[in-house]
Amino acid sequence: MMCSRNVQFSLVILLLGVGIATVTDLQLNVLGCVLSLLAVVTTCVAQIVFIVLSCLISVSVNFSTFLVIGKTSPVTYQVLGHLKTCLVLAFGYSLLHDPFSWRNIIGILVAVVGMILYSYCCTLESQQKGSEASAQLSQAKESESDPLISVENGTSILADSGVPKAPVWSSDKDLHA
């Protein structure tokens, strides 16, 4: 921000006056030096602690974001972000008595309905995928168990044409079980 020449001139006069007042009041003693040194050290330590805590909080936020996206999806993470926005608006109104209009209230309610609908649809899809996966897993286990039993018994397997077929042994089958 650029100040006018008059403002700059008034600040120069102010600083000149403060300089004159403090230079003439200069006294050195051991107690003052120790207290000044202590003030500088505590300020430095407080700033270092603040920076370290800020870094730890930032890492925690990034890690939690990674976990949420890894366990759900980026869309779910965005839905959670919108939930946070709605909660900030609601708490701002209730705790700080910020002005609130009907448009804000209706917007928050519509957003919450959308979040509930999103959650319901995601739950239905995950249940559907889970039932499909368990059905495929049981079919895979049934198809794997028949040839394995026949190989262990030393019997042959009939192909679709009814002609006996030699059992096939896969050495890496146990690795993928």
- Which one, of 119, 69, 112, lies nearest residue 89 by Cα? 112
Structure tokens at 85: 């926005």
Q: How far apart are CA 131 and CA 17, in angstroms?
A: 81
Tens-digit pLDDT profile for residues 71-114: 888 888 889 889 989 998 888 888 888 888 888 889 999 999 99
Structure tokens at 103: 């448009």
- Residue 128 pLDDT level (bands cut at 50, 70, 90): confident
Tens-digit pLDDT profile for residues 18-42: 888 777 666 778 888 888 899 999 9
Q: How far apart are CA 108 and CA 92, in angstroms?
A: 13
The pLDDT, as a whole number, for residue 149 is 52
Angle, nearest 10°, between helix axes 74-96 and 102-153? 150
According to DSSP, the β-strands at 164-165 and 157-158 are antiparallel
Q: How far apart are CA 167 and CA 146, in angstroms?
A: 11
pLDDT exceeds 70 at position 152: no
Q: What is the mean pLDDT of residues 53-65?
A: 93
Q: How far apart are CA 71 and CA 65, in angstroms?
A: 10
What counts of helices (H) and strands (E) characterise the chain?
4, 2
Q: How far apart are CA 91 and CA 74, in angstroms?
A: 26
Structure tokens at 109: 């309610």
Q: How far apart are CA 154 and CA 148, in angstroms?
A: 10
Burial class from Cβ neighbours inside 10 Å (0-12, 13-18, 19+) for residue 34 reads: exposed
- Per the model's pLDDT, the better-predicted residue between 174 and 22 turns out to be 22
Strands (E), the chain: 157-158, 164-165
Structure tokens at 72: 């759900």
